[in-house]
Structure 1
Amino acid sequence: MGNWHISRRRMLKGLGATIALPFLQAMVPPGMSMYNMEKKPIRFACLFMPNGVNKFHWTPEQYGRNFELSSTLRPLSNVKDDILVLNNLMNKGSIFPGADGHYAKTANLLTGLPIYQTVGDNLHSGGISFDQLIAKHIGQDTLLDSVQYGMERINAGIDGAVGFTRLYGSVISWKTPTQPCSREIEPRMAFDRLFRSSLPDSKPKNEKWKKSVLDIVKEDADALQRKLGRSDQDKLEEYLESIRSIEKRIDNEEKIKAFEKQITPEIQKELIGLNMRIDEFNETFIGVDITEKTRQMLDIMALAFWTDATRVGTFMFGNSVSNRNFSFLPGVQGSHHQLSHHQNLEDQMEQYRIINEWHVNQYAYFLEKLKSLPDGDSNLLDNSMVMFCSGLRDGNSHSPYNLPILVGGKGGGGLKPGQNLDFGKDTPLANLYLSMARVLDMPLECFADSTGELCEIHV
């Protein structure tokens, strides 16, 4: 196409919708090659799993590069060379008088500082979370400085067993010490926020736009396609098809819900056996398979990274003390929090492990998705740091020591994945954040209780 090129900030536009574009060859300025373009942006994501892990099936036996995945980590076999397994990290900020239970080990997972003990809404996380420090550093270059997704509504009320408000168990991302970041928990809302702008003024308020967002921008997309080279045409088509796929999956969920509203109590009893549920209460406590909904949210985050709509995201598989019923998994007959208090009973510990493995499976899905998406001369996973973690080691003992921590991706070449590493007892988790800050070229000399960087993970 000669010297014809488009801006990196080029968007597809239509009446009531805009869509960011992935990086295309046509965005390379004339006289430069893809290879000589400036360093690709690095993305950061934190995926939080509540209630800890079955510690006997988490850590691989061998250390260094020549290690075999444990039974719980086996779903990561396709991306084994793209992950770091980090051992003996602890969050010192979760240990203070009265800090028993889950809440004091969840709300401060990304701050590394003690939270203020309260039973009201006067929350205080101790500091700004690490993801929001990143957002302040690089968020001005993107449509959204960060995104926060989850699977469960915010919990209110007081947990009388430990004397904390349950609000602390519903957030890991803090814009300020007293301002938690709000989360999207429905795929439709998360999708529309990214790919559909507000409705035109001529439309009645609260009326849903029924057209596909791709139909709205079709004219602009077709015009752009005619100007692109073959490679860019293929990439743009793949990208638009990814958006279409997510839309169809979300719309299908909405059709099912609309159908369910018309069913009689007698039919409803039969549908329960087919895992068709109406509201979140049933979804959480009766054992609905949430795999597809989870993957919709992860796919939306992947597209947000691919389009550079944002470079920072968090995802909570569940709130702290989540009692989601996982009986949709073969071999599991109970709920997550209940089984995490296994009392060392073999049957309960195995069910606990299966739930852990399901979470790791979703993490593996996200990493593989990122790896499949081209990003310059590499892929999106190579240019990301994707953390998977829990605020507890073992749910039965509420142990905050030797936290289950994984990091996927190469951080744009700044990380050395494919290792199982032990950093010695009680190494601050904040050291990991300090190391990630270095990869992101952030001017951060210390963070929370950090004592230095984890040099073994750096290139």
Structure 2
Amino acid sequence: MPSFQMNRRRWLRGAGVTLALPLLARDADAQDKPAGESNPIRDVKRMVCVANPFGFVAETFFPEHPGKLSDLPPLLQPMDQHREQMTVLSNLDHGVSGGHQAVHSFLSGIRNSQSSSFANRNVTVDQVAADRCVGQVRIPSIVAGVGHTDSELECQTSWTRTGVNIPPISRANDLFELLFATETQQQRDERRRVLRENASVLDVIFRQADALKNDLGASDRRKLDEYLQSVRNIEKNIANLDQWIDRPKPTVEMTSPPAGGSFAQRLPTFYDIIALALQTDSTRVATLSIPGNLPVADLGLQGNYHAFSHHGKTDRMLKPLFKIEHYQIEQFARFIAKLKSIETPDGRPLLDSTMVLCGSGMGNASSHSNKNLPILLAGGGFKHGNHIVAPEASSKRIPLCNLYTTMLQEFGCEDVDAFNTASGTMSELQA
């Protein structure tokens, strides 16, 4: 049985990531609604976002022509069997610059250093979706990364409404244990004690803040309010964690993966765990980031991923880079196939209710450009099978956040009219 050690630091981090029960037909049937009313289990939407720090070489990623996906480019060949369930989008970006320092804006459209003027800072699309899941699932959002990397070359994929980056769970066995490890009564009692201790600390913070407010000017009061909002989010996460302590975790056939292993082993393992988490309704939102320092020796190469990304259009660098990128797409295609093979209680493939985004905040790593980001969207009930080419002229550009607005609205966030820097939606995707 996998061990599950609890300490305050780990659990506070868990509260930030946030923590569900199997998605069984009997559960759906037990919650059947009268005719005309939606069912909370059958009608749920799910979201997965996959990111890497260097993007994909445009010439091998983007189809040659707009319109129906007929002949896929070399890099996307592993996705050929999924052509009718996917869309490739060109000429979408966030209008930001900064090379590696702007990659973290991939899911938000806003650089953290420029986020202070936005009401929700540089909150990412996954976290907006996750907010709607609090109380409904054990873990509203999984934030995972396939190993560690240095800060400059990592994706820093997920950000909160207060501009805080959520550190990813970087070991597959930790993620598995968080989701599926059986806990003893002693472990549950310890978790409950730690949560209540943390809740008591928050109560003290709120009392001190109330006493301080009257002595502050308008500017400082706004800063305090922002801080208190982040504290309220922690309070909400603690309440969510507490209500799930005594509910049994799903039983799955997969066993806890061993620690370590090669990148070639870890990437598919993370995908398998995320698929299980979605299947058991343990979460409805997940992000997975690929590290910039992934060990290319695991793929039979000498050198390093970052160096290859500065290819200068030379075959000597492009060939190994293609192998690295192709492996990522192969595993993404395998994940999509797995979601297609899993049946939900209403008899549909899990992919139909799961929107899966693959891309990067880097458009061209060789020139450090953050323009024309590589974007692939699969599943989720959208109108697929096409290559959508947005206007290239800067005066007519369509923000990538338009896509995120469309995704959020499909997810069930109907009140989101324009996510962050969006100017509208992507009507081309609406079935």
TM-score (norm 2): 0.73
Find the aligned partners of 1:170 and 1:140 in 2 and give their Cα distance: 28
The corresponding residue for 2:71 is: 68
Q: What is the 5 A alignment of 1:339-354?
A: 339-354=308-323
Letter in 1 for 2:280: T
Letter in 1 for 2:421: D
| Bigger share in helix | 2
Q: Give the paired residue count.
A: 347
| Displaced runs of 4 or more, over 6 A | 30-37
Secondary structure at the aligned position of 1:388 is classed as: strand
Q: What is the 5 A alignment of 1:294-333?
A: 294-318=267-291, 322-329=292-299, 332-333=301-302
Find the aligned partners of 1:202 and 1:303 in 2 and give their Cα distance: 23
The corresponding residue for 2:403 is: 432
The corresponding residue for 2:195 is: none
Structure 1 contact 187–297 (Cα < 8 Å) conserved:
yes
Q: What is the 5 A alignment of 1:134-283?
A: 134-153=129-148, 155=150, 166=152, 169-201=154-186, 243-247=252-256, 250=257, 253-254=258-259
Secondary structure at the aligned position of 2:377 is classed as: strand
Secondary structure at the aligned position of 2:398 is classed as: strand
Letter in 2 for 1:45: V
1:20 has 2:21 as partner: yes
Letter in 1 for 2:130: A
Relative to structure 1, the CA distance from residue 47 to residue 341 in structure 2 (aligned partners, 3 Å threshold; closer, same or farther) is: same
Relative to structure 1, the CA distance from residue 387 to residue 34 in structure 2 (aligned partners, 3 Å threshold; closer, same or farther) is: farther
1:107 has 2:107 as partner: no
CA deviation vs aligned residue, 1:98-137 (integer Å, no higher than 9, x gap): x2x3122x2221111122189xxxxx99421111111112
Letter in 1 for 2:409: R
CA deviation vs aligned residue, 1:193-241 (integer Å, no higher than 9, x gap): 01125443289x9xxxxxxxxxxxxxx99xxxxxxxxxxxxxxxxx95x
Letter in 2 for 1:135: A
Structure 1 contact 108–114 (Cα < 8 Å) conserved:
yes
Secondary structure at the aligned position of 2:90 is classed as: strand
Letter in 2 for 1:244: E
Letter in 2 for 1:292: Q
Cα displacement (A) at 1:185 = 1.0
Q: What is the 5 A alignment of 1:355-370?
A: 355-370=324-339
Q: 1:290 aligns with which of 254, 259, 263?
A: 263
Find the aligned partners of 2:335 and 2:150 in 1 and give their Cα distance: 26
Secondary structure at the aligned position of 2:48 is classed as: strand
Find the aligned partners of 1:71 and 1:308 in 2 and give their Cα distance: 35
Find the aligned partners of 2:315 and 2:187 in 1 and give their Cα distance: 62
Relative to structure 1, the CA distance from residue 35 to residue 354 in structure 2 (aligned partners, 3 Å threshold; closer, same or farther) is: farther
Letter in 2 for 1:339: F
Secondary structure at the aligned position of 1:148 is classed as: strand
Q: What is the 5 A alignment of 1:26-65?
A: 27-29=28-30, 38=39, 39-65=42-68
Find the aligned partners of 1:139 and 1:84 in 2 and give their Cα distance: 29
Find the aligned partners of 2:362 and 2:312 in 1 and give their Cα distance: 16
Q: Which moved more, 1:31-40 or 1:43-52?
A: 31-40
Letter in 1 for 2:136: D
CA deviation vs aligned residue, 1:263-292 (integer Å, no higher than 9, x gap): xxxxxxxxxxxxxx7xxxxxxxxxxx4222
The corresponding residue for 1:89 is: 92
1:394 has 2:364 as partner: yes
Structure 2 contact 401–421 (Cα < 8 Å) conserved:
yes
Letter in 1 for 2:408: A
The corresponding residue for 2:417 is: 445
Q: 2:83 aligns with which of 80, 83, 86?
A: 80
Q: CA RMSD in A?
A: 3.2
Find the aligned partners of 2:110 and 2:187 in 1 and give their Cα distance: 49
Find the aligned partners of 1:302 and 1:78 in 2 and give their Cα distance: 19
Structure 1 contact 155–170 (Cα < 8 Å) conserved:
no
Structure 1 contact 108–125 (Cα < 8 Å) conserved:
no
Cα displacement (A) at 1:361 = 0.9
Letter in 2 for 1:187: A
Find the aligned partners of 1:309 and 1:405 in 2 and give their Cα distance: 27
Q: 1:405 aligns with which of 375, 386, 392?
A: 375
TM-score (norm 1): 0.69
Identity of aligned residues (%): 25
Find the aligned partners of 2:187 and 2:87 in 1 and give their Cα distance: 52
Structure 1 contact 393–404 (Cα < 8 Å) conserved:
yes
Q: Which moved more, 1:393-402 or 1:34-43?
A: 34-43
Cα displacement (A) at 1:154 = 5.5
Find the aligned partners of 1:175 and 1:197 in 2 and give their Cα distance: 29
Cα displacement (A) at 1:417 = 1.4
Find the aligned partners of 2:37 and 2:416 in 1 and give their Cα distance: 28
Structure 1 contact 139–310 (Cα < 8 Å) conserved:
no
Letter in 2 for 1:351: P
Structure 1 contact 108–126 (Cα < 8 Å) conserved:
no
